[in-house]
Chain A
């Protein structure tokens, strides 16, 4: 029946020829107007304004006035700004380095067919359901040096003031970032691992390759495209880390964990220097875009090389 109807459909198509291709059923541009106008107004316009505002002085109340390059020269000579860029890079790189192996292991494992997998993965992905705010609030309570877990587990945490030093605070932010983001990346890798053709593993097994070599020579290379997607998300996410810094460390101790996104928020909404805040925001947008483009270019992702060549 279905074969018959498809035959008659294609038969009709040839009869009416070209007309049905360009015919009456194509929607006009008007269908795209509401979404486009809305998006231009509340996403693209702010993006343009961020560039404009970076050349103004604005306290958030009166009208912004142009002040040329003042914000930029100020930021250039601002040690906190320089430090914040380094911190942003450190936090971003630490995030990628810690999250990638954990996500790959977890994703590949959960792509398998173990009997306990379904139950365990239901628990594994719980962090996905929590808001960044909830995650940060919970970890802050847990890691509180006086009333949290460190006070009860001194054999592990020492004096327990984890967020009292710069290295400790960076470690906490990296750890909480991992807790928050690993499930999403693991799901990406799970999808990637499930798409690897089983025939590759069978061939490798015939050649006598063990589990570990199969993982190294089949799984990892086959996950290349997933890795690039996941890494771009991690890089952009890492560069713009804000909620966790605000709630866990407030950029402290001192300005020791004041990354660029948090510094931007502080400049604009705490010091009411919205011009400088915009300048920092513009740096963030440009850097995030450049890094994404660079990863795509250097990995050859833009050439869309298929991982299933020769199959």
Chain B
């Protein structure tokens, strides 16, 4: 059967292309302008002189430190998620009994908890624990709020492993430890890469926990840096926008080379 193009949706997609493309054009082109060119020529025209000075200035304004902090937070969050979620998912899929299904239900309940709703008690818990204004104070809650989605995604992937394979390993007298490493982990690689991407994005783009749980320059992450930059030096738009571009760069590189894994990780939000 010949497929005819869908003109209505095609038109809609064209409108969307403009809506997405236009701000991206302004964003990119503004970063190569001087501040004076931005205020005199406006954001739309193509600048007469291109400059990389904005990017250089960002780094002398401490962007490097923010970047490093964000990398530390992201790597740690992913490490925690990888450490606790696979054993949990393995137990949920393979263990028997009422306790484990209660545990699973608690994590499903967690899907409905918005992070915004717990910022006040989180501030209380983190202050009480003496972790206020430390990177670990951002890492722990961020990782905790990744768990429900990651658990859901990974149990979904592990359920696809057939019973025959487990039984074959049982024949060999394998312990749960060996089954986990030799069967479960290798066969749920897709799910594992999804949860890595999902939690990495959550950590990299996270703003709420850093906003309420840190205050110093030395613990500032990129998103908080952008917010502070905007409230403190709001007039330096080219400097601000080039910091935005720098903050997107790592995700963009992943997007170019591993689009499928990235999209699947993103869609972790929407369940399996």
A46 engages B26 (CB within 8 Å)? no
A106 engages B43 (CB within 8 Å)? no
Q: Which residues of B contact A209 (CB under 8 A)?
A: none
The reply to whether the CB of A129 lies closer than 8 angstroms to some CB of chain B is yes
The reply to whether the CB of A28 lies closer than 8 angstroms to some CB of chain B is yes
Assembled-state Cα–Cα distance A157/B263 (Å):
35
B96 engages A126 (CB within 8 Å)? no
B164 engages A134 (CB within 8 Å)? no
Q: Which of these, B4, B95, B116, contacts A32 with CB under 8 Å? A: B95
Q: How far is the CB of A163 from chain B (nearest CB, A)?
A: 14
How many chain A residues sit at the interface, stated as a range, is: 35 or more
Interface residues of A in 18-37 (CB under 8 A from B): 20, 22-29, 31-32, 34-36
Interface residues of A in 96-113 (CB under 8 A from B): 102, 105-106, 108-110, 112-113
Assembled-state Cα–Cα distance A123/B127 (Å):
42
A112 engages B3 (CB within 8 Å)? yes
B106 engages A44 (CB within 8 Å)? yes
Of the stretches B48-56, B58-66, B171-179, B188-196, the one at the interface is B171-179
Q: How far is the CB of A134 from chain B (nearest CB, A)?
A: 5
Q: Which residues of B contact A105 (CB under 8 A)?
A: 8-9, 12-13
Interface residues of B in 72-131 (CB under 8 A from A): 80, 83-85, 87-88, 90-92, 94-97, 99-100, 103, 106-107, 110, 112-125, 127
Q: Which of these, A102, A187, A268, contacts B267 with CB under 8 Å? A: A187
Q: Which residues of B contact A240 (CB under 8 A)?
A: 114-117
Assembled-state Cα–Cα distance A152/B40 (Å):
11
B95 engages A26 (CB within 8 Å)? yes
How many chain B residues have a CB neighbour from A under 8 Å?
108
The reply to whether the CB of A1 lies closer than 8 angstroms to some CB of chain B is no
Assembled-state Cα–Cα distance A50/B266 (Å):
29
B110 engages A20 (CB within 8 Å)? no
Given A29-B91, A137-B230, verify A122-B176 contact (CB < 8 Å): no
Given A134-B244, A152-B44, verify A9-B110 contact (CB < 8 Å): no
Interface residues of A in 114-132 (CB under 8 A from B): 114, 120, 122-132
Given A32-B88, A44-B106, verify A288-B144 contact (CB < 8 Å): no
Given A27-B95, A31-B91, verify A131-B205 contact (CB < 8 Å): yes
Which DSSP category, helix, strand, loop or mixed, fits chain B's interface?
helix
Assembled-state Cα–Cα distance A263/B9 (Å):
39
Q: How far is the CB of A23 from chain B (nearest CB, A)?
A: 5
B113 engages A47 (CB within 8 Å)? yes
B147 engages A9 (CB within 8 Å)? no
B88 engages A274 (CB within 8 Å)? no
B120 engages A281 (CB within 8 Å)? yes
A20 engages B100 (CB within 8 Å)? no
Of the stretches A78-86, A139-147, A300-308, the one at the interface is A139-147
Q: Which residues of A contact B34 (CB under 8 A)?
A: none
Given A31-B87, A140-B230, verify A45-B125 contact (CB < 8 Å): yes
B212 engages A269 (CB within 8 Å)? yes
B180 engages A27 (CB within 8 Å)? yes
Q: How far is the CB of A191 from chain B (nearest CB, A)?
A: 8
Q: Which residues of A contact B17 (CB under 8 A)?
A: 120, 123-124
Q: Which residues of A contact B114 (CB under 8 A)?
A: 236, 239-240, 284-285, 288
Assembled-state Cα–Cα distance A91/B208 (Å):
20
Given A49-B121, A49-B124, A265-B119, verify A25-B241 contact (CB < 8 Å): no
The reply to whether the CB of A243 lies closer than 8 angstroms to some CB of chain B is yes
Q: Which of these, B95, B180, B226, contacts A29 with CB under 8 Å? A: B95
Q: Which residues of A contact B20 (CB under 8 A)?
A: 123-124, 126-127, 179
